[in-house]
Amino acid sequence: MLIQNAVNARGEAVELYLSGGVIQAVGRGLAALAGPDEPVLDARGLTVLPAFVDLHAHWRTPGFEYKEDVATGSAAAAAGGYSFVNLMPNTKPVCSTAAQAAAVEEEAARVGLCGANQTVSITKDFDGVTLDHLKTLPQSVRFVTEDGRGVQDAAVMARAFAICHQRGITILSHAEDMEISPWDYRLAEDLETLRNCWLSEYYQTRLHMCHVSTRGAVEAVRIAKLRGAPVTCEVTPHHLWFTDDVCDYRVNPPIRTADDVAALIEGIRDGTVDAIATDHAPHSEEDKARGAAGMVGSETAFGVCYTRLCRGEGLPLELLSMLMSQRPAEILGLNKGRLEPGCDADVVLVDLAHPYTVRREALHSKSKNSLYDGAELYGRVCATIKGGKLTYQAAEE
């Protein structure tokens, strides 16, 4: 495939030639490289970026397919410009084995719209105690997490860090002291963040802090990095967009104050924040009415972040691209996230010039629990390409 007439994140005219699943060339005058039968994509008026990589998403398979399944999750991700997602294990049954993880990944490969890594639980079946399965996981499993709850017992978590250091496994942390969160969710997140950052430094185990949302948590990660802990962290689009004085929609962690949002943006500016991840959390209307936490976010993430951070805060598009593509790919160990020869041929074309309106009913996700319905955003995803093949193309407007 030859992509012509695009501009890159710096606004420079650029062409890309994709073949054999990788980027073969980036530059100008590449038409001679393409054969007569190869597709040519005219990207006039559009910006080409590396396809996005999501460090944190829920596709609800197995057990909760009425909320989302691999096919609809893949379609939503592709429509949002994603070519790869990292899936959480809070399914039914809980994903606690390599075989369970492989089954989800194989289904994603069969669907073919978006690659996936399925994480495994830190404790067996989220029982909060049992770690024996970590000692026998094959090398194909490189990430574990207790997302949605966190490991509450400090001694259990310390043993998990020790095992994962020996096994070369990265721990993804949902920071919440669940004895404290019913009455002070800020303290619950800050304490668990400090604990897990200290454990990462002590054992030198790779730690990734999920959906960091408070000023205190950002500062804890910043200090941990300065002390040499192998810690990375992510923030979500909804924690950058909403503040608790105007929004009480239930997500976990909750929507925070304007000061917290400012701290997240400061963390992005100074490099404390490594990535933006969606925490795409589909729920049925009935589940939301019963208090389920979370919102869908795959399809709105780039528009929300470009509008909020680039147009609103003046952050360069190159930085946003790094947060949504390059750094997530590096953390996951993928050959993605950069527009360079030899990298996977995963790219996204976006329209930065014209606003568009989010329509809840037009979302590809099986669930429609989005707070952005009716929002006017910039940064519409017009096409997504994975492995050199078109996986999404927006309808003409």
Q: How far is CA 6 from CA 286, 303, 344, 348, 350, in A?
A: 44, 19, 19, 11, 10
Computed from CA positions of residues 113, 115, 118, 119, in that sequence, does the dihedral angle turn out positive or negative? Answer: negative
Quote the mean pLDDT of the chain: 97
Computed from CA positions of residues 299, 305, 310, 316, in that sequence, does the dihedral angle turn out positive or negative? Answer: negative
What average pLDDT does this structure show over 247-254? Answer: 95
- As a whole number of angstroms, the distance between CA 303 and CA 305 comes to 6
Q: Is the peptide bond before 253 cis (omega within 30 degrees of 0)?
A: yes
pLDDT in tens, 333-347: 999 999 999 999 999
Q: What is the pLDDT of residue 352?
A: 98
- As a whole number of angstroms, the distance between CA 168 and CA 206 comes to 8
Q: What is the pLDDT of residue 383?
A: 98
**Active site includes 279?**
yes
Residues in contact with 124: Cβ distance below 8 Å, sequence separation at least 6, in sequence order = 96, 130, 131, 132, 133
pLDDT at 34 over 90: no
- As a whole number of angstroms, the distance between CA 208 and CA 321 comes to 19
Active-site position among 69, 279, 344, 346:
279
Bridge partners (DSSP) listed for residue 6: 14
Q: What is the pLDDT of residue 35?
A: 83
Which amino acid makes up residue 381? V
pLDDT in tens, 320-336: 999 999 999 999 999 99
pLDDT in tens, 76-100: 999 999 999 999 999 999 999 999 9
> Chain-centre distance of CA 208, in angstroms?
12
Which alpha helices (H) appear in the chain, and where do they start and end?
70-79, 98-111, 154-167, 185-203, 215-226, 237-241, 258-270, 285-289, 301-305, 312-313, 317-321, 327-332
Computed from CA positions of residues 375, 396, 391, 354, in that sequence, does the dihedral angle turn out positive or negative? Answer: negative
Contact between 252 and 209 under an 8 Å Cβ cutoff? The reply is: no
- As a whole number of angstroms, the distance between CA 124 and CA 129 comes to 8
pLDDT in tens, 36-60: 888 999 999 999 999 999 999 999 9
Contact between 24 and 341 under an 8 Å Cβ cutoff? The reply is: yes
pLDDT in tens, 1-31: 999 999 999 999 999 999 999 999 999 999 9
* Residue recorded with tokens 């990535």: 275
CA atoms within 13 A on the CB side of 35: 5
pLDDT at 214 over 90: yes
pLDDT at 397 over 70: no
What average pLDDT does this structure show over 215-233? Answer: 98
Q: How far is CA 129 from CA 154, 164, 321, in A?
A: 10, 15, 39
All structural domains of the chain:
2-48+347-393 (2.30.40.10), 51-332 (3.20.20.140)
pLDDT in tens, 94-129: 999 999 999 999 999 999 999 999 999 999 999 999
* Residue recorded with tokens 């007439």: 5
